[in-house]
Amino acid sequence: MHSIRTKLTALTIVAMLVILLSVGSMGIYAVRTQGNRQTAQNMSLICDNYRGILNQYFNSVEQSVDMVTRYISETLSGVDLLEGGVIGARGDGKAIREDETSEQQLRLDAHLNAHTEMVRTVFRSVANHTSGVITYYYRINPEVSRNVEGFLFSRIGGVQFSAIPLTPLADYEPDDISHVGWYYIPIQRGRPSWIGPYYNDNLGVQMVSYVTPIYKSGTFIGVVGMDISYETLVSQIQDLRILESGYAVLTDAEGNIVYHPEMSIGESMADAGPALSGALERLRSEKQSGANLVRYTYHGVTKQMYFNTLSNGMRLLVVAPEKEIHAVTMRLINRITLAGFLFLFLFSALMAVTTKHITEPLQRLTVASKHLAEGDYRVNFTYHSNDEVGILTSAFERLVEHLRIYINDLNSRAYQDALTGVKNKGAYNVSAQILNDAIRLSPADRKPEFAVIMLDCNDLKKVNDKYGHEKGDLYLQTACELICKVFVHSPVFRMGGDEFAVILQKDDYYIRNDLLTRFDIYAQQINAEAAFPWEEAHIAKGMADYEPGKDIGVESVFQRADEAMYEDKKRCKALRLA
């Protein structure tokens, strides 16, 4: 006959076993589901983030070449082309005119010489402001003129660009990619093209090129392009590590390797074996944006591959073994299960306390996981024990911190002006709100000290109307560089159009008048050295100090600075008319 104590003990053990199995199963399911989902989202986010970095880099090169292309089209004369007898030139690079010494050709060559000099000046400025460029060039179609070839500048092996001889097109066949692919491929495609990576035998480097064909009045004029080194491209991703042995890969649209830590450039993913055939088909067929997941087994290892399409058609892949992706979750699940049974059999007298100790952290972690799954990253992890749940909590805590870093990076871009790179009006509103809170909460004798400077770029409309909006953008960038150079320790904001604002605090606030004097001196130097109107900087400015008791907040200081700026603008206009 069993005693009541035995029955109660047996009943308690059974009850605790049921509770442990129930709660443990739910907790394990939630941890595994949310853990796997968050790990997958993390890999997808890494893929998207690096896609944005690479796209930004490629787009900067495209925008630079497109800017020069538009300038070339604007400065070419269709009349001179017609009078020169070159209308309809196809651009095969070999049909050179025999009457190049005629008066018509001499006039055309004179026009092309002047045109090329203007393009060289603009291209130099654009290339110096484009990161990672190793060469830039403008090659004239030999059918148009064999006396005016264009130019090629390189900084391979150096810091500054220097002119080097152009490749003689007639010495190579059009299908010789390593020597003249940069010239004939855009002609064949009839549109701007990314080429490579390929080994350029002319310069002796592995590179990627972006080249645009130039047409005017139905005539092929030549090509304009920029080259970036292969090392610069792959440096963006080669140090990226996913979990323990994951890595990043870059391929072209057909699945040929651009960068792989173990495969060679140009090698097809299909060469690695039939296991990647399905993955390769997905790479070739997927066109939509957003990360895509491919699972495959290679040499007995199941892997997950997230890939995304870049703006130039390449594919960015992040790859990690599925075992590593699920390792933390599975390890924690095994430990939690083992700990549950140990608690059940070794500490039956403390079963209730043990169950509470196990389930409550899991419940909190499950709630936190659901918040994360819903996109709410403002969760606090209060459990930091050294047991399995604590390890799981720490893993989630690190994951959330990584997500916060990525999200903060995205948010920071929302407060940056795309043209000038300084902060935008939204960032100014945030800074103004911080100052307003400091004014409101500070005692009367400890109000913040600051000043607001408003600046307005004079003559922007004239530059836009006369030279085009591209030159207007350069004019704004020149003005912004001057403002940032003087107020290097203070935040600079583009308020919209041609207006900028600066908030002076701390050391800059105490030397604010000296800074304004320095600003005028630098502006005079820039205007004296400028070769073109868009390289000048005519800026009206006005400053106002925060005065406690007079100013309720930043807005009134801003208004007084704005009024002072408009007074300065009127004064500058009066001086010009005098």
pLDDT, tens digit (0-9, with 9 covering 90-100), for 208-246 = 999 999 998 888 999 999 999 888 888 878 777 777 888
Q: State which residues of the chain have pLDDT below 50.
A: 1, 95-96, 99, 288-290
List the beta strands (DSSP E) in 205-268.
Answer: 205-216, 219-229, 241-242, 246-251, 257-259
List the beta strands (DSSP E) in 43-93.
Answer: none
CB burial class (10 A; 0-12, 13-18, 19+) of residue 199?
middle
Alpha-carbon distance of 457 to 124, in angstroms, equals: 24
Q: How many CA atoms lie within 13 A of 190 on its CB side?
A: 3
Distances (CA, A) of 82 to 107, 150, 223: 11, 20, 20
Q: How many CB atoms lie within 10 A of CB 398?
A: 10
Q: How many CB atoms lie within 10 A of CB 3?
A: 8
Can you give the pLDDT at residue 324?
A: 78
CA dihedral 516, 521, 524, 528 (to 10 degrees): -160
Question: DSSP code of 248?
Answer: E
Residue listed under structure tokens 């055309």: 108
Residues 6+ apart with CB under 8 A from 184: 93, 174, 175
Q: Helix, strand, or coil here: 516?
A: helix
Can you give the pLDDT at residue 245?
A: 80
For the chain, counts of helices (H) and of strands (E): 15, 17
Distances (CA, A) of 376 to 39, 232, 266, 406: 16, 37, 43, 14
Question: Residue 210: which of 232, 193, 196, 230 has the closest Cα?
Answer: 193
Can you give the pLDDT at residue 289?
A: 45
Can you give the residue ranges of every domain in the chain?
A: 4-36+324-412, 76-232, 423-577
Alpha-carbon distance of 340 to 492, in angstroms, equals: 58
Asked whether 285 and 267 are in contact (CB, 8 A), the reply is no
Distances (CA, A) of 290 to 48, 147, 374, 404: 7, 49, 19, 20
Token pair of 324 as six digits? 């590593």
CB burial class (10 A; 0-12, 13-18, 19+) of residue 41?
middle
Q: Helix, strand, or coil here: 292?
A: strand
Residue listed under structure tokens 């196990």: 358
Select from 3.50.50.60, 1.20.1250.20, 3.40.50.300, 3.30.70.270 the CATH code of 423-577.
Answer: 3.30.70.270
Q: Helix, strand, or coil here: 386?
A: coil
The residues with which 307 forms a beta bridge, in sequence order, are 292, 317
Answer whether 76-232 and 423-577 agree in fold.
Answer: no
Can you give the pLDDT at residue 359?
A: 62
CATH assignment of 76-232? 3.30.450.20
Token pair of 301 as six digits? 């290892």
Alpha-carbon distance of 301 to 321, in angstroms, equals: 7
The residues with which 494 forms a beta bridge, in sequence order, are 424, 500
Token pair of 480 as six digits? 């912004």
**HEC string for 130-189:** CCCEEEEEEEECCCCCCCCCEEEEECCCCCCCEECCCCCHHHCCCCCHHHHHHHHHHHHH
Alpha-carbon distance of 195 to 186, in angstroms, equals: 9
Asked whether 300 and 275 are in contact (CB, 8 A), the reply is no
